[in-house]
A = this chain, B = another copy of it.
Amino acid sequence: MLEELKEKVCQANLDLVKHGLVLFTWGNASAIDRNQRLVVIKPSGVSYSQMKSAEMVVVNLAGEVIEGRYKPSSDTATHLELYKAWPEIGGVVHTHSTYATAWAQTGYDIPIVGTTQADYFYGDIPCTRDMSVDEIDRAYELETGKVIIERFENLNPTEMPGVVVKNHGPFTWGRSIEEAVHNSAVMEEIAKMTYISSQINSKMTMNTHLTEKHYKRKHGKNAYYGQ
């Protein structure tokens, strides 16, 4: 079932490696079929070097395995929370990419100081709050999803397609899984650039008008970037 989506999910996971975002098994990408309300996700702890699309796992939105001989990614519950909260997204990616994870470890938002970020993320990339002992102990991966959604109370997940989870690492998403992978590579590059900038000038700023100009020239009805 969902053969085409499984191939996309498998390819997306391999693309994370190709973009240099994943060491060993430290990442997972998933996609949702909104009609069937089923999610296809990478199996847990399986090596990328021999990953096949037939090994992708199909789960429903309650987290039950519908098809697949492997256990799904241990982060599946986090992915599912995002799909349930945000009907507009079609794919989710989680990695431990170096610079985005470094920001996650600091507990800071990645401040918007350049048009590279504004081309994709409409403002600072948010960092979630500390999780409580209770949240960690109870249903950790599901609660991780909940703290992400809580952090987006006043944010639009379409205009802000990613987050860094405190002390953990980045999650990104998009209308499709390909877009989620793309946003993951973009966030890593931005995280690197802005780390470097922050070391040269800790007080740098950017005009919010410039953010709006760049975001809007690529997104929305007045976009004029691309073909």
Interface positions of A (Cβ within 8 A of B): 23-24, 26, 43-46, 70-71, 74, 96, 98-99, 101-108, 113-116, 130-131, 133, 136-137, 140, 167-169, 182, 185-186, 189, 192-201, 204-207, 209-210, 213, 217, 224-227
Q: Quick one: which of B102, B204, B225 contacts A196, CB cutoff 8 A?
A: B102
Residue contact B99 to A105, C-beta cutoff 8 Å: no
| Chain B hits for A131, CB < 8 A | 207, 210
* 23 A-B pairs (CB sep. < 8 Å): A44-B225, A46-B227, A74-B225, A98-B192, A98-B196, A101-B114, A102-B194, A103-B197, A105-B194, A106-B113, A106-B200, A107-B204, A108-B200, A108-B201, A131-B210, A136-B210, A137-B209, A137-B213, A167-B207, A167-B210, A195-B196, A195-B199, A199-B199
Q: How many copies of the shown chain assemble into the complex?
A: 4
- Distance of A144 from chain B, by nearest CB (Å): 10
Q: Quick one: which of B43, B106, B198, B227 contacts A227, CB cutoff 8 A?
A: B43
In this complex, the member of A105, A185, A189, A224 whose beta carbon has the largest number of chain B beta carbons within 10 angstroms is A105
Docked Cα-Cα span, A120 to B120, in Å, equals: 33
Q: Quick one: which of B192, B204, B213, B226 contacts A44, CB cutoff 8 A?
A: B226
Residue contact A136 to B225, C-beta cutoff 8 Å: no
